[in-house]
């Protein structure tokens, strides 16, 4: 009798500095999925070495010709890929292109959206055209870092500012720069992670983040989380080593929370996203004393460990993460 369960691959790992973080998200997702409904396997990606973790603790190589593997001499072909790779190749459109070639549905947005959201500078310029508030920024490509005009940069973005890789996550390579003399070492640090680096204005305010997903039947926008840390910014230690308070719902007025949720839903539609996204913002005060919501980043494969922000928001919304994942998978069948 044919197996009636869909076979789900949770695709994790990847080739960036976030490989291990992604594995943690993959393991958490494995624990969240409805095993009565799906057969679920963890697929670890590293370069061209892709392997499936089997229940007995062994692994089996993935046949990249059709994204299948053999289990006890039985060929297993996946029905769906839940991508939880943070960084390349799962967050920049590369993996999505491979799955498109195989006509295999997956949990994230498509190639163009993934490539664009992975490039922070491109995304900022694109969404600015839709009226989304973003910080002023300057793009520096590898080879240009020794010929920058410090005075012009300071004039454009001000001080202090942030120097960050254009396409890396988890705050690797990010520096807060307080004077022009710190630009050169900060650029070198960021260039270790990315060939393109963004120098971005510092926005003084309250950092918040909002998760969202949509299906054919509904829009689900999660409660707003406030990010409060005593670190210089929401860096790696703040994110993963507990040096932060993540407060859900955020300690902000209800109307501001609703505005942030509405903006998140609108950006989801502008980009034509798929699956769960999480958008980070800084709320600043305008000259008129009103709250201004500035977009920082769109995360299309947000962290999904038990302690990660989206699972926190799912719980705060009174939802079940297992049901949410089922919604996302079934939306494409």
Predicted local distance difference test score (pLDDT) of residue 170? 47
Between the two ends of the chain, the Cα-to-Cα distance in Å is 22
Average pLDDT along the chain, 333 residues, taken 10 residues at a time: 81 92 95 96 96 94 96 94 95 97 98 95 95 94 85 90 78 85 90 89 94 97 91 52 81 96 98 97 93 96 91 96 97 95
Rounded Cα distance between 305 and 52, Å, is 20
Predicted local distance difference test score (pLDDT) of residue 18? 86
CB 276, CB 302: distance < 8 Å: yes
User: Where do runs of H (alpha helix) occur along the chain?
Assistant: 19-32, 94-102, 111-118, 120-128, 150-157, 183-191, 236-240, 254-271, 309-316, 321-330
Q: Which residues pair with 41 in a beta bridge?
A: 9
């Amino acid at each position: 009798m044919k197996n009636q369960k869909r076979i789900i691959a949770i695709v994790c790992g990847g080739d960036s500095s976030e490989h291990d973080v992604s594995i943690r998200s993959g393991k958490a997702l494995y624990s969240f999925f409805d095993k009565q409904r799906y057969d679920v396997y963890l697929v670890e990606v590293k370069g061209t070495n892709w392997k499936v973790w089997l229940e007995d603790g062994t692994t089996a190589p993935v046949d990249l010709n059709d994204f299948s593997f053999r289990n006890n001499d039985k060929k297993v072909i996946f029905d769906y890929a839940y991508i939880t790779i943070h960084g390349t190749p799962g967050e920049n459109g590369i993996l999505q292109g491979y799955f498109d070639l195989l006509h295999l549905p997956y949990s994230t947005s498509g190639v163009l959206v993934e490539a664009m959201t992975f490039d922070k500078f491109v995304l900022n310029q694109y969404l600015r055209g839709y009226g989304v508030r973003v910080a002023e920024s300057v793009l520096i490509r590898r080879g240009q870092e020794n010929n920058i005009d410090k005075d012009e940069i300071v004039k454009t973005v001000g001080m202090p500012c942030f120097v960050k890789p254009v396409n890396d996550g988890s705050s690797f390579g990010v520096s807060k720069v307080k004077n022009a003399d710190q630009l050169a070492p900060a650029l070198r640090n960021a260039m270790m992670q990315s060939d393109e680096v963004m120098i971005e204005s510092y926005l003084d305010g309250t950092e918040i983040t909002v998760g969202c997903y949509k299906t054919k039947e509904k829009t689900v926008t999660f409660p707003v989380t406030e990010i409060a840390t005593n670190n210089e910014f929401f860096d790696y230690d703040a994110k993963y080593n507990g040096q932060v308070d993540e407060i859900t719902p955020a300690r902000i007025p209800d109307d501001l929370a609703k505005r942030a949720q509405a903006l998140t839903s609108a950006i989801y539609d502008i980009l034509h996203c798929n699956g769960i996204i999480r958008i980070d913002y800084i709320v600043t005060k305008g000259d008129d004393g009103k709250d201004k919501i500035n977009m920082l980043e769109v995360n299309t494969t947000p962290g999904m460990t038990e302690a990660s922000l989206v699972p926190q928001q799912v719980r705060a919304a009174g939802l079940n993460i297992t049901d949410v994942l089922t919604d996302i998978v079934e939306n494409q069948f």
